[in-house]
């Protein structure tokens, strides 16, 4: 078996993360070290997308499931995400996998390696470069429930408008995305 080249250890992946089924698309462009463990990538994806993190998750690649192994939650039939780094599953540009968050709402994200780059000196990764549209609220019923929520929130005369507004706690701007806020959160997280 050939030894891995030292420069391969220092690779940087530019990822495009797209929430499947969302129309118009909801996506983020990130740069992460290629050797980031899946358990850490999960945290980065939560921050980048805007999820709260109160639900189970898994990564899926070629019918193999990776996630937090927890027999108490019935999650002992998957590979432990802590022992797998991203480049082991996505070895080159155009490689992709699925990240599913919240098994009830089934928020599926396609994670695509757009580019393999050399990291810049004096830059702390991960970094969010860009994105589009706000993350749907937690527990709104998946992509279909979110579409229904947006329809209701466009019509203040809708019979469910007041109830949904109270549930949300604030106005919903589906177009809002703040890359600076995401990067501030990414930089403040513990490495």
pLDDT in tens, 117-168: 999 989 999 999 999 999 999 999 999 999 999 999 999 999 999 999 999 9
DSSP conformational letter for 181: H
Instruction: Give yes or no for residue 65 having a pLDDT over 70.
Output: yes
The CATH T-level fold of domain 11-133+178-188 is 3.10.290
Residue 70 has pLDDT above 90, yes or no: no
d(CA 129, CA 179): 7
pLDDT value for 184: 97
Cβ within 8 Å of residue 119, ≥6 positions away: 10, 11, 12, 33, 125
Of 66-70, 75-79, 98-102, 104-108, the least confident: 75-79
Query: How many other CB atoms are there within 10 angstroms of residue 113's CB atom?
Result: 22
Q: Is the pLDDT of residue 9 over 90?
A: no
pTM of the complete model: 0.90
Query: What pLDDT, on the 0 to 100 scale, is given for residue 7?
Result: 43
Contact 17, 111 (CB under 8 A): yes
Decide: helix, strand or coil at residue 117.
Answer: strand
Query: 74: pLDDT confidence band, cut at 50, 70 and 90?
Result: low
The whole-number average pLDDT for the span 36-47 is 97
Predicted confidence at residue 135, as pLDDT, reads: 95
pLDDT category of residue 80 using cuts at 50, 70 and 90: very high
What value does the mean pLDDT take over residues 99-115? 96
């Amino acid at each position: 078996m050939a030894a891995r080249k030292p420069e391969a250890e220092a690779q940087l992946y530019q990822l495009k993360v797209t929430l499947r089924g969302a129309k118009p698309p909801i996506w983020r462009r990130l740069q992460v070290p290629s050797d980031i463990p899946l358990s850490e990538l999960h945290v980065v994806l939560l921050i980048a997308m805007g999820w709260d993190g109160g639900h189970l998750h898994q990564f899926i690649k070629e019918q193999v499931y990776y996630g937090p192994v927890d027999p108490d939650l019935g999650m002992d039939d998957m590979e432990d995400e802590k022992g797998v780094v991203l480049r082991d599953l996505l070895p080159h540009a155009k490689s992709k996998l699925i990240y599913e968050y919240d098994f009830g709402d089934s928020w599926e994200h396609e994670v695509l390696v757009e580019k393999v780059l050399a990291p810049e000196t004096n830059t702390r990764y991960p970094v969010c470069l860009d994105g589009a549209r706000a993350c749907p609220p937690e527990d709104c019923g998946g992509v279909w429930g979110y579409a229904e929520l947006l329809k209701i929130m466009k019509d203040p005369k809708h019979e469910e408008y007041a109830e949904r507004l109270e549930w949300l706690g604030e106005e919903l701007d589906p177009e809002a995305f703040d890359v600076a806020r995401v990067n501030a959160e990414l930089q403040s997280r513990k490495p």
